[in-house]
């Protein structure tokens, strides 16, 4: 495999802080430094209260956008393996002590307006009961501030990668086409590991997108994060009152909606990905997932142990082929 540059991956969320799922705890942690140095210490840590929920919810034009952060310990190791203060801990502690979430604002308090910088990432793990591989797309933040925040809400992001497929979105048992497109884009991290993400192209841009791009091309896309409610309004019958209830049943979903794209990269571009390298990366990803499943099964067999997660018509052909003859999540 030729050297592959890490993909462009920038996400920015701007709006009012809606909810904060954050607390300071005392915990024994293993700090890791350069050259494999490790040190076990007990210190303060900023971490999520509820593991399944994002650390922050931001109100962006009425959309509740979730952003996660990694836990931040009070100390970290420097290049010589010595304990030093961790600025990420201090930053999150400032947020906890000084920022005002909209949902907890008291009378007269103004919710804190924030800007969060981060990346699009995938929380990948093995279901401990079914051993099924799961990949959940999320935004991981690395910086949050209340200083110099623009007045206009936005959740605009940019990402580069290689298109594996472009297919019409369908719904229902009859697989009726919605007019929108689903785009499977594979990105690379600094270790040349590939991760897939699914993007939506709305119907008003679908024709242009289809004529502009094809599977196998390396591209840079611009997208926005949108949350939508999936469900119906609950009917109210009988009783009394002055109006109908606005409550809905169902759930909310997050979509990553493409609103713009640059011209496809040529082979001279530093972010160009060779389809042959992509095939090899898919094989390596398949091996990684199989190893995750194997480890989960082995851990379940151990006493007092449980598996843990890892930290149609119009379809354009997939130029990479199958990553494996075995069942693959791709």
Q: What is the pLDDT of residues 251-305, one digit of tens each?
A: 788 999 999 999 999 999 999 999 999 999 999 999 999 999 999 998 887 765 4
Residue 313 lies in a domain: no
What share of the chain has pLDDT > 70, as a percent?
85
At CB < 8 A and 24+ separation, what contacts does 165-174 make? 165/215, 165/315, 165/316, 165/318, 166/209, 166/210, 166/213, 166/214, 166/215, 166/315, 166/316, 167/312, 167/314, 167/315, 167/316, 168/312, 168/313, 168/314, 168/315, 169/200, 170/312
How far apart are alpha carbons 288 and 300 in whole angstroms? 19
How far apart are alpha carbons 108 and 241 in whole angstroms? 31
Residue 21 lies in a domain: yes
Give the domain extent around 269.
9-33+43-238+246-301
How far apart are alpha carbons 145 and 194 in whole angstroms? 30
Residue 295 lies in a domain: yes
Average pLDDT score over the chain: 88
pTM for the whole structure: 0.83
Q: Are strands 176-188 and 156-171 parallel, antiparallel or unpaired?
A: antiparallel
Per-residue pLDDT reduced to its tens digit, 19-63: 999 999 999 999 998 888 999 999 999 999 999 999 999 999 999
Q: Distance from first CA to last CA of the chain, Å, rounded? A: 20
Residue 199 lies in a domain: yes
Residue 1: its pLDDT value, please? 66
- What CATH number should be reported for the domain holding residue 172? 2.40.50.140
Residue 316 lies in a domain: no
Residue 188: its pLDDT value, please? 96
């Amino acid at each position: 495999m030729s050297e592959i540059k890490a993909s462009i991956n920038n996400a920015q969320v701007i709006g009012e802080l809606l909810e904060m799922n954050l607390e300071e705890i005392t915990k024994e942690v293993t700090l890791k430094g350069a050259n494999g140095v490790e040190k076990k210490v007990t210190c303060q840590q900023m971490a999520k209260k509820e593991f399944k929920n994002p650390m922050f919810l931001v109100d962006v034009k009425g959309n509740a956008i979730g952003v996660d952060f990694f836990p931040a310990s009070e100390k970290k190791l420097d290049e010589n393996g010595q304990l030093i203060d961790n600025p990420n801990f201090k930053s999150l502690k400032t947020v906890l002590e000084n920022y005002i979430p909209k949902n907890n604002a008291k009378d007269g308090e103004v919710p804190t307006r924030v800007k969060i910088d981060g990346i699009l990432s995938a929380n990948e793990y093995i279901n401990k009961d079914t051993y099924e591989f799961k990949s959940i797309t999320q935004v991981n933040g690395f910086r949050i501030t209340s200083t110099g925040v623009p007045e206009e809400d936005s959740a605009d992001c940019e990402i580069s990668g290689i298109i594996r497929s472009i297919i019409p979105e369908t719904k229902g048992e009859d697989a009726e086409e919605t007019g929108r497109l689903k785009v499977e884009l594979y990105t690379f991290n600094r270790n040349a590991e590939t991760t897939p993400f699914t993007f939506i192209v709305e119907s008003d841009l679908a024709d242009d997108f289809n004529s502009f791009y094809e599977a196998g091309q390396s591209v840079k896309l611009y997208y926005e994060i949108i949350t939508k409610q999936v469900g119906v309004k609950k009917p109210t019958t009988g009783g009394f009152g002055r109006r109908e209830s606005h409550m809905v049943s169902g759930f909310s979903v997050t979509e990553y909606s493409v609103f713009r794209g640059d011209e496809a990269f040529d082979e001279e571009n530093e972010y160009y990905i060779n389809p042959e390298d992509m095939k090899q990366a898919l094989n390596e990803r398949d091996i990684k997932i199989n190893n995750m499943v194997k480890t989960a099964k082995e851990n379940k067999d151990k006493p007092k142990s449980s598996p843990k997660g890892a930290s149609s018509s119009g379809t354009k052909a997939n130029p990479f082929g199958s990553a494996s003859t075995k069942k693959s999540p791709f």
